[in-house]
Structures are given as structure tokens and as C-alpha cells.
Structure 1
Amino acid sequence: MTSRPAAMGAPDSGGPSLAGVWTLAGGRLIIAEPGGPATVLVPSEQVRILAVDLPLASRAKRIEALPFAVEDQLAEPPESLHLALGAEIAPKRYLVAAVRHEVMAAWVMIAEEAGLAHAAMVPDALALPRPDEGQWAVDLAEDRAAVRAGDGTGFACPPALLLPAWQAAGRPPATAYGGPLPVEMAAGAAELDGATLADRLLAPALDLRQGAYARRRAAIPNFWRRFGWIVAIGAAAHIVIAAADTLALRAIADRRAEDLRAVTAIAAPGANLSNDLAGSVADLLPTGGGAAPDLFLPLLNRVSGALAPLAGSIAVRTMRFEASALTLDLDGTDPGLAARVDAALKASRINGTVTRSPDGSIRVTARTA
């Protein structure tokens, strides 16, 4: 991602299967690199990218355990999200992506109508080279910044949040793969990875086209393709509505408990599970290390995505992360900005508060739960 892709228009939906790397922006497919594997890069603002421990023997078992492994890191019920399992980034530690079903269905429909049903679908932050541990690779453009961290995860945010996020993350050495970085960040730059974008996507770290959204090898008539996705989107909406019903939640909880017992029996044969299922499973988990879970980047990714439409109206004065709370002090001249920020947080289902300080700044406090 040495530069922003040049707009070449959406591909002809009636043409043959297309190769090359495409970027999905504003509902349009834009060519980023004509050669290389067929790949669609989607905005990382709408994808949660996590690093998850999955000490299970097979891919099938890891996929089965995914909803339980990520449930505490998500603000939405796992059944309302499409979960995709990626590459192993450390021993028994894997990349995992979470995206809303309705968003994923819309992306797949756009790709298939453009003749890219066979293309991989990758969050654009993961198209950056993976830097060394403790470093960042950054693609900074006029309207957004995409970041890939040394642990293999990534996120995207408005440019105004890049420097505060870097400072809150401990000022990791950062290498620019797009526009010039702020002077403070550029001071620790490493040598650029010389591989092309197509080279890096020959074996992407994570492909969202899995499960119900797996790639299609052969084209199907346009009418049936539209009909199928209408049915899929309708089904996803009914799942979300049903999840809000108390009786349905009870049934889901019971089913999860049985599933968890089954997975635990596979991972730890002979384990004695008491009526306190959560406590029993917690006792089986490995101890040591003492490191707190990485809550900062996932929360920052969600807040950045929520505030992205307001990026031109705000400037970040300070950013702090303590315990499970992210605090941002914002400057802005719009008298209605506080209300717009509050509405943006609520629309993204972020647990947070927005207050105006005596000095005129706006304080945003967002919490992981």
C-alpha cells in the first residue's frame, strides 16, 4: 500500500472473472493493482480484528470454539456477527475478524455483481506488511489512516486520532507506506518492505469469505444471486430481533452451555465440570504471563469508526486509556458537536458519555463494557 489506489471505476458486472486487487470504498470497487490474486480490500473501520488464543488441535474445532473465545471482547452478541478465522500469528494464537452480517452480505453482493465472486475479501489494514513485534506499519492518507501492528492485528481511524493512538500505544516505531507521518512518529521508522501489494496478498493473513459467505467458483444468474442475498439479509435481521427476546436468550444460553461442555470435553478429556460452568472452564485455562488482555486497540477501533464521519469537525487534544476506559478530549467550534458525537457513539452501540468542559472542549469517555 505504497499509495492510495487510483479510481478506475467499478468493474463491468457482465464481464469475465477479474483478477487484480480492488478496494471497496463508498459502495464502489476501485482498482488498486491490476495484477496479482483476485482480492477485494474492505474498510477496516467496519471490522474488528482480534488476536485470540485457541489451543485446539484442528481448524474445525477452533471455528466451533470461536463464539466463546471472542464473546467477552465484543459489544454485540456473536450470533449477530460473521466471525472469520485467520492465520496463526503465534503458537496457538490466531487472527480473528468480526463483522456484522448485514455489512458482510452487502459487501459480498457488490463483489459478486462485479464478477468477483471468486475473490478473497481482506480488511485493508491487513494488506500492509506485518512489522516486527512492537512496531507499526502505517498507510496515512488525507481522510484516514490504516495501521498494522507487530502482533499481526490492525485497525483504521481518522487522521486526527492517529497521533494520540500512537502515543497511547506506547509510541511504537512506525514505518510509513502512504503519506508522510507526523515528525514524532517518523523518528523511529524502519526499512520499507519491498514486496508489492499483490505479493503480500498471495496468501492473505485473513479472508472474510468463509462459512455462509465462502467464495463462489461459478457464476449464478443475477436474479437468483439477488434473491439469495435478500433472503440472507432478512434472515440476519430476524436473528438480531430474536436475540432481543428473553426466551430466545435463555435458549441460546442453554445451547451455548452444552456446546461449551462439548468443546471442553474435546480439549480437556476427563475434566470435572461443576454446575458453575464458567468457573470450571476458567480453572482449566492456562495461567502465567500476567499480561492484561489487549483492550485498547479494539476499543479505539470502534470509537474511531464511530467518529469517522465527524473527522473534519474535530481535533483530538489528548487521549488516555486507564483500566477499561478510553478518554478523548476533543476541540471543535460547532456548538452542536457534542450532541453529534453522542449520537455517533449511540449509533455504534458504544458504552460511553459525552460532556462539554468549562474550557469549551468535549470529553468523550468510552468503556469496553
Structure 2
Amino acid sequence: MNLLENIRESLKSVKVNLLRTILTGTIIAIGITSLVGMLTAIDGIKAQIEESFSGLGASNFDVRSRGFSGGRGVQDGVAQKTFPPLRYKEVLEFQNEFSRTGPSTVYTTISSAVEVKRGSKKTNPNVRVTGGDEQYFNLKGLKVEIGRNFSSTEVRYGSNVCVIGQDIVETLFEKNEDPINDNITMFGRKYTIIGILEKQGAVGGGPGADRSIFVPVENASRLDTRGTFRYNLTAKGSDPLQLEYEMGQATGIMRKIRQDRLGQEDSFEITKSQSVGESLEEVAGYLRIGGFGIGFITLLGAAIGLMNIMMVSVTERTREIGVRKALGATPLRIRQQFLIEAVVICILGGILGVILGIGIGNIVANAIGPGGFLVPWFWIFVAFLICVVVGLASGYFPAYKASKLDPIESLRYE
């Protein structure tokens, strides 16, 4: 009995015992579905978040107040040193000096809980209002779909104009109305709409740019009557390869503006924008480990179930094994037959599991945030590799037991 004949016999046995094959394959499919589904969902969510941050670019860096979270930190029982926040004039001066290297944008969040009105209509008090300049949308990866961006004159003089997100349009305007050059009211002032942002979407159902309004940063500074606004700056270097050097230049410029003394630590923070992507990859790595662990536990249960069914199959086919041995089948061929059966069942279950896993994973990822359809080729390869390993591991002991049966005793078995 050669190997090809053994394979044919194994496939015939799988086909004859169709119900057993379906039930056993379903056990494997559940394990593969959990593994591929979770990892597909994780990769899909990560891809959406990366796309959201793709506009930041690899050569961007942020300049912000040090300890911008607010309260006075305490470490080892010692209160940490606090630094005054960046002032509006300081970031403008930095922007002017850094302009020889690359573009930059000055921005500040006015409030994240603003109610916006238009006639008798009004939004919920959950609109974010941000002050920015004409470079803000470009450096933050936002696109004005209808209308236009701020002009340098509007930014310089702080005109009462604004660019709004899609959610604001849907709330305050009818479908047949044109929002451009219309007016809305917030902070007791009227603002003229000059632009509408492209639909952004948001992972996790957050507001994002769709539920935001942007006004000139000079206009925002006039609303800062108590001097509590925190002004930040995002700058774009000339070359990603020279980012560290240009960040060093930016540090020198800001230290001079802030009048930090020689030997004194920086009274501000400069961080790479790409660190967001690096942190995201680290978090996704931990999630993959967790998802792989849960899927492995499920597959372990499936492997035990498969081994149990193969043991039952050996007992049921004792006479068949005896006949084959009497006809000259060696223990190696008997082991091969049962191992091939186990691997075939695992692969059939793996195919079903991969299809279900890809579908469920993409459904979960798109439910959390709108995105495309992801086919995780790497995890598909891993899943099939696991199927073969599980088949070999689960089928070896039953196959070994079958190969050791005595042919005379097997023929007598009823």
C-alpha cells in the first residue's frame, strides 16, 4: 500500500463518515474563527486609526506646554516642577522664526462643549471649537470639501468666519440648503461659514472633525479673556531624515523665546507626531498577543475533541485495520492513514474558520469605525499552519494506537 493509495483511502474514509467529518471540522472551525476573527478585527481597527493619523506625516513634530495635563505632579513624595504654558505671542514668534525651515500651524482648543445655533435650530452642547490658521488643515490631514480655507487676512485680523464639519451641516441645515456664506451663532457671536470639511468618520463613535468647528486662531485668542487657553504648534520639517536636527533647531528657537537659562531644563515639550503611530503599534501588538492567546485556548479544546473522535474512529475500525494488516499494510502506512484523515479534517475546518473569521473580524472593525475590507493573508497562512499542526498532534496518538493493534485480535473484534 503506497502513499498515494493511503491518501485516497483517507479521503474516502472522510467522505464516507461525512457527519463525523462535519462535526469534527466544525470544532476546528470555531477555534480558527475566534483566532482569525479577533486578529482581523485588531488589524482592521489599527488600519483605520493609522489612516486617521496618516495626514500627520513622518516629518511633523509638536511643540506644546510642558505638563499640559494641568495638575501639579508628585513623584516619590516630591512635587514636580511646574512651567508656565506657552503664550500666544510666543508660539507666533516661534512660527515666524521657524518659517525659514518649514511650515507650521498654531492652534488651540476653545471648548469641547459648545452649543451652536442657527435660527430656531441648535446642536447638542458637545461641539468642539478649535482656533487654527491657514496651515492647520494641511498639516493635520483635513480637507475642505466645499468652500475654502481661511485666508491669511482672515487669520491676521481674526475675522468671524468658520469651517464646519459634516455633523454640524446635517444638524443645522436641510438637505437642499447651501451652508456657504450662511451664519451660525456661538459664544454670543455670529460666524460666517466659508468652508465644509470632508466627511472624516471616527473610530469608536467619537466626534472627530465631523462634529467640530474651526475659527481663525486670532479670533480664538480674543475669546481667551482669562488667559487659560493652551496654544500648541505643529511644525513640518523639510526632510524626515533631518527631523532630529530640525527638532534640535526648534528647541533652540523656543528656548530663546522662552528665555530658558543655560543648563536649565526645557520649559516646553517637543515630540514627534509619528510617536502616535509607534504607540499604536505597541498597543496593537499587545492586543494581538491577547487575541492569539484566546484563540489558542479555543484551538486546544478543539484539538482534544478531535483526538477523542479519532480514538473512537480507531475503535470502530478495528476489523478494517486488521484486514489491512493481514493484506500487508505496515504500521507506518496505518499511522499515515489516520494522520492524513486528521489533517484533512483540520484543513476543511480551517477553510470554514478562515472564511467566518475574516467576515466577523471585518464586521467588528467596521462597526467600531467605517473602513474597508481587510484580508489578513499572514493570519490566513498562520491559521492553515496551525490546522496542520493540530491535525498531526491530535491524530498521532490514535494513529500510533491503530498501528500497534494485533492483526489476529483485530480480525476477531466485533
TM-score range for the pair, normalised by the shorter chain length: under 0.3
TM-score normalised by length of structure 1: 0.19
Of structures 1 and 2, the one with the larger relative CO (CA 8 A, separation 6+) is 2
Q: Answer 1 or 2: which has greater strand percent.
A: 1
TM-score normalised by length of structure 2: 0.18
